[in-house]
Structure 1
Amino acid sequence: MRWLAWHRLWAMLVKEFVQMRRDRVTFAMMLGVPLIQLVLFGFAINNDPKKLPAALVTTSEDQFTRAIVTALENTGYYRFTHILISAEKADLLIDNGTVSFVVTIPSDFARRVMTEERPQILIEADATDPSVASGAISTLSTVSANALRRELAATAGAGAVAGGGAALEAVVHRRYNPEGVTQFNIVPGLLGVILQMTMVMMTAMALTREVERGTMENLLALPATPLEIMLGKVLPFLVVGAGQVVVVLVAARVLFGVPMAGDMRLLLAGILIFVLALIFLGYTFSTLARTQMQAMQLSFFFFLPSILLSGFAFPFRGMPGWAQAIGEALPLTHFLRLVRGVMLKGADLHTVSSQIAALIGFAVLFAALALIRFRRTLD
């Protein structure tokens, strides 16, 4: 018998390609994952975010204030979306994450510039993600001072500049994470990533495991409704998720010193809703997959954009608009805002209400899809 016969080899190749064509999930993964990685890393990922939303707090509209605001916008980092608002409203905007910076210019700014009394401006930066604020803060002092000198030159003539002009002092206040500790941003986010990886994958294999083991018929013979079967399959994973939450939160506090500034009851309620949404999503995947391998592939196909577009690995506001729109449709995005807001900012229910509402919407949607798909499986 010959060790290698081309006709036998050709038959084996044809057989494998036929099986590959029939396994559409695996075939889609082979083509889809590289394409998604290419698009996301090539177009969506940006470690130096620009045009970050900012709020301006001032009661003055003199030429020096306008010069400072224009100079900040010209850097490309600042985009003033809220202008001439009160300090209380600006504080709320940075608390709920609507803006990344609050620029405060005092009412006597112009007088201090003209009398050379060392004028000051205050920049409050949301430093929950240190990488977002670092680039914008690094260009702050130089750009603002140069803009002020140019405005002085245009107002008082070259003699004012030759005399030195006013020395601008830009006071930077990094809120929520003054020391810029990266772990304060990463560790709370890891809670969401770990829960997503385990909850979705384990529940995604809930039904496919029954099919592969040949016990699906016994399950269908039980005098139980589809809702009862679904809840019976997914609720035990809540216990597993609870254990993971305890481990991560204890490690975050003891090992990394992450502050727990907010109400833990609000945090735990948000975690429960998030876990339920993930469990129902994984169960939906289990009704779509034929094998446990396909269930794992579907889970991985969901993990990749979630981790890259949620704001966990890369700054959310550094991504283009279309990538942010996709990120808004992912549960992990809203959970990260919730957990970082409560743990680092001490956010209350009113501040994170939109994130809670989004997670509840995901949970209801995924539960409905899982139940509909399971009914079709029974039929």
Structure 2
Amino acid sequence: MHKLAHIFRLGLKELTSLRHDSVLLVFLFYAFTVAIYMPAAGSVIGVHNASVAMVDEDHSHLSRQLAQALQPPEFQRPVLLPYGQLDQVMDSGKYTFVINVPVNFQADLLAGRQPAVQVNVDATAMSQAFMGAGYIGRIFQRELLNYGGQNDPASQAPVLLTTRALFNTNLEGGWFLAVIQIVNNITILAIILTGTALLREREHGTLDHLLVLPLTALEIMLAKIWSNMLVVVVCTWISLEVIVKGALGVPLAGSMSLFLMVTAVYLFASTALGIFLATLARSTPQFGLLAIPVIIPMLLLSGGSTPLDSMPQWLQWVMQGSPSTHFVSLGAAILFRDAGLSVVWPDLLALTAIGLLFFAIALMRFRKSLAS
């Protein structure tokens, strides 16, 4: 009972210390408001407002029809250019797509020949270029089929493909990005808050004061974990309700309480990792340098920025040992697909096991650092 009281009072000391740290408070506010709203509202994953130019050498009804088929919001209205400026505008990067319709294009099509339309793509604008070229190809194919009179049942393809987008019907990239930003910020804050809290006490000498008290390394460590866990979980809940659901209008279908519970388990693992890194460092700058090569792979390779399935097989196996991989999977399943505990328990079990392993390693290292 005394141990629980010690852990509780030490945690209150951590919260009091955080309350007087104005820099960390400002960073917390920024991380769960501006840093979530701006990328989700301003960044678009996919084709949006792509610049298009067209070199129309045919000057036919069909070439004008192809130009009119490219509509906002995916594309800007095509700008007509003379043929001599094609290379110049591509070299300058003024347009992402420059389409060249050759002479006699309509006549060749009606004569049964197979004329070609050249689509020049500035692939340095990678996200727009990759998907935009596919969009243009499908749009032009549809227009050419309609113009050629191939809209009768006999000329249709033998298989009719029906596509349904589940959980995000309009394919809004900002919805998923908002949740991923929260996951990323939780990862950063969990490691940074606990690591800097421990190093701050060591640098100020307060850690030596704690050691002369009847306290164990386990009590000190648990106090830092529960206090920082409470702060981040509360900030996460407020951010989901106010920023994600309120300001961005993202329809979160799943259980908020289940997600917050999963967040607490993830914080248990990541805060233990932060303490472990702090025991390796002797100063705050050193801790920052150690944290960078740990945090960045956790953010980039967890499945939030790039699907896990597209990575090499060996890297997929390696990332199964990262708590962020399971947290990203749990977050998407719970918040968007309304998955319950009966569905997400394997990932939750793996996350708990990783958290206990990290905690045991960090505690062992923390005890060793206190003894030295």
**TM-score, normalised by the number of residues in structure 2:** 0.56
Q: How many pairs align? A: 227
Once the two structures are TM-superposed, the CA of residue 211 in structure 1 deviates from its matched residue by: 2.2
Once the two structures are TM-superposed, the CA of residue 228 in structure 1 deviates from its matched residue by: 1.0
Structure 2 residue aligned with 1:184? 175
Once the two structures are TM-superposed, the CA of residue 371 in structure 1 deviates from its matched residue by: 1.2
Residue of structure 1 aligned with 2:344, choices 324, 342, 352: 352
Structure 2 residue aligned with 1:35? none
Q: Distance in 2 between matches of 1:262 and 1:361?
A: 24
Structure 2 residue aligned with 1:145? none
Once the two structures are TM-superposed, the CA of residue 366 in structure 1 deviates from its matched residue by: 1.4
Structure 2 residue aligned with 1:247? 238
Once the two structures are TM-superposed, the CA of residue 340 in structure 1 deviates from its matched residue by: 0.8
Q: Secondary structure at the match of 2:336?
A: helix
Q: Distance in 2 between matches of 1:277 and 1:206?
A: 17
Q: Please, what is the CA RMSD of the aligned residues?
A: 2.6
Structure 1 residue aligned with 2:323? 331
Residue of structure 2 aligned with 1:222, choices 205, 213, 216: 213
Q: Distance in 2 between matches of 1:273 and 1:325?
A: 21
Deviations 1:311-352 (A, max 9, x none): 222232222222222322211111111111111111111211
Change (3 A) 1:232 1:164: closer
Structure 2 residue aligned with 1:318? 310
Tell me, yes or no, if structure 1 residue 210 matches structure 2 residue 201.
yes
Change (3 A) 1:165 1:285: closer
Q: Secondary structure at the match of 1:172?
A: coil
Is the 1:276–1:363 contact (alpha carbons within 8 Å) kept by the matching residues of 2? yes
Residue of structure 1 aligned with 2:267, choices 275, 283, 286: 275
Is the 1:284–1:373 contact (alpha carbons within 8 Å) kept by the matching residues of 2? yes
Once the two structures are TM-superposed, the CA of residue 237 in structure 1 deviates from its matched residue by: 0.8
Once the two structures are TM-superposed, the CA of residue 164 in structure 1 deviates from its matched residue by: 4.3
Between stretches 310-319 and 271-280, larger displacement belongs to 310-319
Structure 1 residue aligned with 2:296? 304
Residue of structure 2 aligned with 1:343, choices 335, 345, 356: 335
Q: Which residues in structure 2 correspond to 1:1-379 (within 5 Å)?
A: 164=155, 167-250=158-241, 251-379=243-371
Change (3 A) 1:226 1:338: same
Is the 2:302–2:324 contact (alpha carbons within 8 Å) kept by the matching residues of 1? yes
Change (3 A) 1:266 1:239: closer
**Alignment-mate amino acid for residue 263 of structure 2:** I
Q: Distance in 2 between matches of 1:216 and 1:336?
A: 35
Q: Distance in 2 between matches of 1:246 and 1:266?
A: 11
Is the 1:309–1:326 contact (alpha carbons within 8 Å) kept by the matching residues of 2? no
Once the two structures are TM-superposed, the CA of residue 249 in structure 1 deviates from its matched residue by: 0.5
Q: Distance in 2 between matches of 1:263 and 1:217?
A: 43
Structure 1 residue aligned with 2:63? none
Once the two structures are TM-superposed, the CA of residue 357 in structure 1 deviates from its matched residue by: 0.8
Q: Distance in 2 between matches of 1:167 and 1:210?
A: 71
Is the 2:323–2:355 contact (alpha carbons within 8 Å) kept by the matching residues of 1? no
Once the two structures are TM-superposed, the CA of residue 175 in structure 1 deviates from its matched residue by: 1.1
Q: Secondary structure at the match of 2:164?
A: strand
Change (3 A) 1:248 1:326: farther
Change (3 A) 1:309 1:166: closer
Q: Secondary structure at the match of 1:170?
A: coil
**Alignment-mate amino acid for residue 364 of structure 2:** I
Change (3 A) 1:295 1:176: same
Is the 1:195–1:244 contact (alpha carbons within 8 Å) kept by the matching residues of 2? no
Q: Distance in 2 between matches of 1:303 and 1:216?
A: 26
Gaps of 5+ in 2: 1-44, 47-126, 139-153
Q: Distance in 2 between matches of 1:166 and 1:279?
A: 56
Q: Distance in 2 between matches of 1:242 and 1:270?
A: 10
Between stretches 308-317 and 268-277, larger displacement belongs to 308-317
Is the 2:237–2:260 contact (alpha carbons within 8 Å) kept by the matching residues of 1? no
Once the two structures are TM-superposed, the CA of residue 304 in structure 1 deviates from its matched residue by: 1.0
Among all aligned residue pairs of Structure 1 and Structure 2, give the percentage whose two residues are the same amino acid: 31
Q: Distance in 2 between matches of 1:302 and 1:218?
A: 31
Q: Distance in 2 between matches of 1:372 and 1:169?
A: 61
Gaps of 5+ in 1: 1-46, 49-130, 143-162
Is the 1:285–1:299 contact (alpha carbons within 8 Å) kept by the matching residues of 2? yes
